[in-house]
Structure 1
Amino acid sequence: MSIHLRTVAFAELAALHGHHTFEQQAAATGLGIGTIHRLRNGGPASSTSVAAICGTYGVEFADLFVISATAPAPAVAA
């Protein structure tokens, strides 16, 4: 079991805050660009990453994350 970012929901929420690039999202959350890249590409999320993202955007865990047995396929935001 692992935690994964709901990539489309995250991209939409970040964009609403003017954070369109990995660099802007990393600066806003305090996470590294590599971490944002990994999460946006379906990699597992740590508790630190979850807390940073939820805290930055003022959302609940279920708004942006899912617990799954396998990694979801990366989604591309329209």
Structure 2
Amino acid sequence: MSISILLRIDEYLKLATAHGHLTYEAQALAAGLGVGTIHRVRNGGPAGPSTVAAICSTYGVEFSDVFVLGSAAAKPVKAAA
């Protein structure tokens, strides 16, 4: 099992909402990230170092305020038709 950096979703959403960033698009624009990146981390996917840095910098928080080390749930891969 590998360890990943995971978003503390509830805490992140409180921060984003407090800053008026209500949508995936607004959150991505504020942090300078792609919408797909925000979507992935908000849905339990792993965050990379640049994503962590962007979110922490955007909201002026420490790593542990919005991230945790854990294992991302493996999602089944669809078989090719």
Coordinate RMSD, CA, aligned = 0.8
Q: CA deviation at 1:71?
A: 1.9
SS of the counterpart of 2:68?
strand
- Structure 2 unmatched ranges of 5 or more: 74-81
Q: Does 1:11 align with 2:13?
A: yes
How many equivalent residue pairs?
71
1:38-53 pair list within 5 angstroms: 38-53=40-55
Q: Does 1:71 align with 2:72?
A: yes
What is the CA–CA distance in structure 2 between the aligned matches of 1:71 and 1:65, rounded to whole Å?
13
Q: 2:60 aligns with which of 50, 58, 62?
A: 58
Q: CA deviation at 1:14?
A: 0.2
What is the CA–CA distance in structure 2 between the aligned matches of 1:8 and 1:48, rounded to whole Å?
21
Q: Which amino acid aligns with 1:40?
A: R
Following TM superposition, the consecutive aligned residue runs of length 4 or more in structure 1 with deviations greater than 6 angstroms are none
TM-score by length of 1: 0.88
- Structure 1 unmatched ranges of 5 or more: 73-78
What is the CA–CA distance in structure 2 between the aligned matches of 1:2 and 1:32, rounded to whole Å?
20
SS of the counterpart of 2:33?
coil
- Name the larger-Rg structure: 2
What is the CA–CA distance in structure 2 between the aligned matches of 1:63 and 1:71, rounded to whole Å?
18
